[in-house]
A and B are shown apart, each in its own frame.
Chain A
Amino acid sequence: MSVQAPKRRNQVVFPSESEYRGQLNRRRRKASAFQFFCLAMLSVAVLALATLLYTIVNDSFGLVAIVNENDPRDIVAGLGYDPEATSLQDVSYDELVALLETTVSSGVGRRLEREQRFYEDRLVFEDDGIWAEICASDAPPTGCTSAPRDDSNVFALVQERVVVPDVIASNQLIPSLLDQDAFVQEVVAAFEADRFPDYTIDQVTMEWRAWFNPTFLFTPQNSTPEVAGIRTAILGSAWLVLITILFAVPVGVGAAIYLVEYAKPSRLNDFLQTNINNLAGVPSIIYGMLGLAIFVRVFEPFTSGAIFTDGVPPSDNGRTIVAAGLTLGLLTLPVVIISSQEALKAVPDSLRHAGLALGATRWQTVRSQVLPVALSGILTGTILAVARAIGETAPLILVGAATFITTDPTGPFSKFTALPIQIFQWTSFPQQEFHNIAAAASVALLLLLLTLNAVAVILRNRYSRRAE
């Protein structure tokens, strides 16, 4: 009956059957082209990440040509152990100190002891009288106050002072795997060209070296790449994270709660919101300048710790962990505020109304009903923001992270270095070995970030399950 009419209308407004078929094919082609484009973009992203990982891992492991001044096996044998069964690392603390005592000059020994002593109750290199005298002087060395050295510290000293390894050439992981001979020939050619006049080719041993290894993680910084580690930097970064969290989380979450739960819409609020959003995009180096001007200079009595002690500040100036941690905290703050706001806004209003309708105050409702639901979102956002801050380098350079520091940070008012600073410094040296340890430190930094992200995921799953 009325079937005819719509068909006629279709012919006017819509294409004919054959036209439509052709159109459909074109649309299909477009759709698959778009899908392919997205896949290609994904591949580019994956490729970039893979290249990044490849570069880092490639430099962190590989073959090295090494010359030890004293072969660790000989040293172990000299101590009366079987070098096949015992490595230098298994030797006891006392024996290592004794080894140092017989090997290093008394001048170097005294210097090491003044830096950090070996035993709480006795001195190894220094004379008791002189020690008492220098510790009573106006500028006592760090050894007078700091805790004695530990196993890993002394092992590193033995490596540095007794074994004295010298990596004369190092090869990357993939070339080492593919063509070992090429590297050997390269070393031989270097000797033939007389590039290493101090050594003979017989002294050289070829070995596989993982630049990223447990010793590397637990050894303090050193100017010799073979024995340098990142313990100082890891501790510095840990302190920074702690202070960043202590500052950014209460302030950020508090501000977000006010903005979402209490503030009535007004021009001032819009202005604040816009500024917070903009602050999240301010380059980190500008935060560094701010930190230098405010925390390092203006707040120097606080950040150097001077106001907490009578007269003698724990640090010479404001370039301390606290100043850097607060700077990173400021840098993180806008992101923490924004992600907390988003998490709070995602909590349905019906929950707030339910709470308020029972005669709860706004704070009771927020505290017991809204925050628990928003918590996983707040935590995830915060951890990701903090993970971002760990990798920040520019602000730390400006607020004055020390690039070379061998002693562990002792508290929030000590000088410090951090992982990205260490990587930055090592990368700027020309020697290949420094590039190797920079890559190894990058592996450590990436692992740290992965751990933090995993924590974020676990917390999110845990709390979002609880909220259901």
Chain B
Amino acid sequence: MTNETSTESRIDDVIEQGMTTEPQGPSRPVPETVGPPGVIETKSMNVYYGDFLAVADVSLNFGRNQISALIGPSGCGKSTVLRSLNRMNDLVPTARTEGEVHYHGENIYADGVDPVEVRRTIGMVFQKPNPFPKSIFDNIAWGAKINGFRGSKAELEGLVQEALEGAALWDEVKDKLAESGYSLSGGQQQRLCIARAIATKPDVILMDEPCSALDPIATLRIEELMLELKENYSIIIVTHNMQQAARVSDKTAFFNVKLDESGMRTGRLVEYSPTDQLFTSPTEKDTEDYITGRFG
């Protein structure tokens, strides 16, 4: 943006800086979070894969009815953080989470908390559209059924319509609900996945790079949809696309990779502030380097 350096010198910069970081103590101050009361709050969360510390000391407060974006270079642990928020990381056999993740004041990692219950209220949309190999109708109705939906057939149909309308897909598919979810285009499939997620009436929706497999037009539609969804849901999104974060999010968390003394590449939260502020006047040098394209 403001940086007018040529490609060569930018590469040189990266080589010079590398991924090694200036010696900075682990007790680097994380900017205070301000804003409306949070819906999910992580407290000094560490996530390990086996012995490998993937992301360390994450303390974040995600706002209600806001879109919060997690950005950072590859391998910085932003997806790991996202998956820890609804215990999807439990599916990785070696994954282990330390610290606390509070949802409405309850630690979801406390003993006796059933991950099934957590995932029902904190839904998720994945990087690649993954509809079930079933009809469009069943794709949405299944989530309701397995969660004990007791309504009549008409009520179920109403729920499906509501979810598809909520995902701005109804007009495109209302005449072909019995067709396979795979018959849709990539962008439509992703909106179907969003409809599927909101059909179970979650509170929070996690989105893991939801547009990375889509073309720019489909991406734009999803972004518009997110802004609509924010009225009723709290959204946390991981994205590689900084413009996307700038366009849709209210607050942005920047993660970076740090090499520790033993050479482990651990992700750390660098800065978490309102999006305007983070992109215009970042407090950290790393953040500025990243958003101006100096590395990453």
Query: Considering only CB atoms and an 8 Å cut-off, how many residues of chain A contact the other chain?
Result: 22
State whether A358 touches B91 (Cβ < 8 A): no
A372 close to B (CB within 8 Å): yes
Q: Mark interface residues in A31-56 (1 if CB within 8 Å of B CB, else 0).
A: 00000000000000000000000000
**Min CB gap A317→B, angstroms:** 49
CB-nearest residue of chain B relative to A364? B146
A264 and B92 alpha carbons, distance in the complex (Å) = 10
State whether B116 touches A353 (Cβ < 8 A): no
- Which of B1-9, B58-66, B120-128 lines the interface with chain A? B120-128
A361 and B119 alpha carbons, distance in the complex (Å) = 10
State whether B93 touches A358 (Cβ < 8 A): no
B249 close to A (CB within 8 Å): no
A373 and B146 alpha carbons, distance in the complex (Å) = 18
A356 and B147 alpha carbons, distance in the complex (Å) = 11
Q: Mark interface residues in A251-268 (1 if CB within 8 Å of B CB, else 0).
A: 000000000000011000
Partner of B123, one of A357, A368, A468: A357
A350 close to B (CB within 8 Å): yes
State whether A354 touches B193 (Cβ < 8 A): yes
B284 close to A (CB within 8 Å): no
Known contacts: A264-B93, A368-B146, A369-B132. The answer to whether A360 contacts B197 by CB under 8 A is no
In the complex, chain B residues whose CB is within 8 Å of the CB of A129: none
State whether A359 touches B143 (Cβ < 8 A): yes
Partner of B130, one of A354, A361, A373, A467: A354
**Min CB gap A264→B, angstroms:** 5
In the complex, chain A residues whose CB is within 8 Å of the CB of B147: 358-360
**Min CB gap A377→B, angstroms:** 14
Mark out the residues of chain B between 102 and 133 whose CB falls within 8 Å of any chain A CB in the assembled complex.
Answer: 116-117, 119-121, 123-124, 126, 128, 130-133
A104 close to B (CB within 8 Å): no
Query: Considering only CB atoms and an 8 Å cut-off, how many residues of chain B contact the other chain?
Result: 27
CB-nearest residue of chain A relative to B117? A359
A351 close to B (CB within 8 Å): yes
State whether A360 touches B116 (Cβ < 8 A): yes
State whether B126 touches A468 (Cβ < 8 A): no
State whether B130 touches A353 (Cβ < 8 A): yes
Known contacts: A353-B91, A369-B132. The answer to whether A359 contacts B119 by CB under 8 A is yes
Q: Mark interface residues in B129-150 (1 if CB within 8 Å of A CB, else 0).
A: 0111100000000110011000
**Min CB gap B107→A, angstroms:** 19
In the complex, chain B residues whose CB is within 8 Å of the CB of A368: 142, 146
State whether B124 touches A357 (Cβ < 8 A): yes
CB-nearest residue of chain B relative to A365? B146
Most buried by B among A264, A352, A355, A372: A355
State whether A468 touches B182 (Cβ < 8 A): yes
In the complex, chain A residues whose CB is within 8 Å of the CB of B88: 353, 356-357
In the complex, chain A residues whose CB is within 8 Å of the CB of B133: 351, 372-373, 467-468
CB-nearest residue of chain A relative to B144? A358
Tally A-B pairs: CB < 8 A.
69
CB-nearest residue of chain A relative to B129? A350
In the complex, chain B residues whose CB is within 8 Å of the CB of A265: 93
**Min CB gap A183→B, angstroms:** 61
B46 close to A (CB within 8 Å): no
Q: Mark interface residues in A345-385 (1 if CB within 8 Å of B CB, else 0).
A: 00010111111111111001000110011000000000000
State whether B116 touches A359 (Cβ < 8 A): yes
B287 close to A (CB within 8 Å): no
In the complex, chain B residues whose CB is within 8 Å of the CB of A355: 132
Most buried by B among A264, A352, A356, A373: A356
B200 close to A (CB within 8 Å): yes
State whether A356 touches B132 (Cβ < 8 A): no
**Min CB gap B203→A, angstroms:** 12
A360 and B141 alpha carbons, distance in the complex (Å) = 13
Most buried by A among B117, B146, B193: B146
Known contacts: A350-B128, A353-B130. The answer to whether A358 contacts B182 by CB under 8 A is no
In the complex, chain B residues whose CB is within 8 Å of the CB of A357: 86, 88, 119, 123-124, 126, 197
In the complex, chain A residues whose CB is within 8 Å of the CB of B116: 356, 359-361
Mark out the residues of chain B between 141 and 181 whose CB falls within 8 Å of any chain A CB in the assembled complex.
Answer: 142-143, 146-147, 180
A368 and B139 alpha carbons, distance in the complex (Å) = 11
Known contacts: A350-B126, A467-B133, A468-B182. The answer to whether A356 contacts B119 by CB under 8 A is yes
In the complex, chain B residues whose CB is within 8 Å of the CB of A350: 126, 128, 130
In the complex, chain B residues whose CB is within 8 Å of the CB of A372: 133
In the complex, chain B residues whose CB is within 8 Å of the CB of A467: 133
B196 close to A (CB within 8 Å): yes
In the complex, chain A residues whose CB is within 8 Å of the CB of B197: 357-358
A354 and B124 alpha carbons, distance in the complex (Å) = 8
State whether A359 touches B120 (Cβ < 8 A): yes
Most buried by B among A265, A360, A368: A360
**Min CB gap A381→B, angstroms:** 20
State whether B93 touches A360 (Cβ < 8 A): no
A368 and B86 alpha carbons, distance in the complex (Å) = 22
A372 and B134 alpha carbons, distance in the complex (Å) = 10
In the complex, chain A residues whose CB is within 8 Å of the CB of B120: 358-359
Q: Chain A interface (Cβ within 8 Å of chain B)?
A: 264-265, 348, 350-361, 364, 368-369, 372-373, 467-468
Given contacts A351-B130, A358-B123, 13 further A-B contacts (CB under 8 A): A350-B126, A351-B133, A353-B130, A356-B91, A356-B116, A358-B197, A359-B117, A359-B147, A360-B116, A360-B147, A361-B116, A369-B132, A467-B133
Q: Which 6 pairs, one residue from A and one from B, show the smallest C-beta to C-beta distance? A: A359-B120, A350-B130, A357-B124, A358-B143, A467-B133, A354-B130
A-B contact pairs, 17 of them (CB 8 A): A348-B130, A354-B130, A354-B131, A356-B88, A356-B116, A357-B86, A357-B119, A357-B124, A358-B200, A359-B116, A359-B120, A360-B146, A361-B146, A368-B142, A368-B146, A369-B132, A372-B133
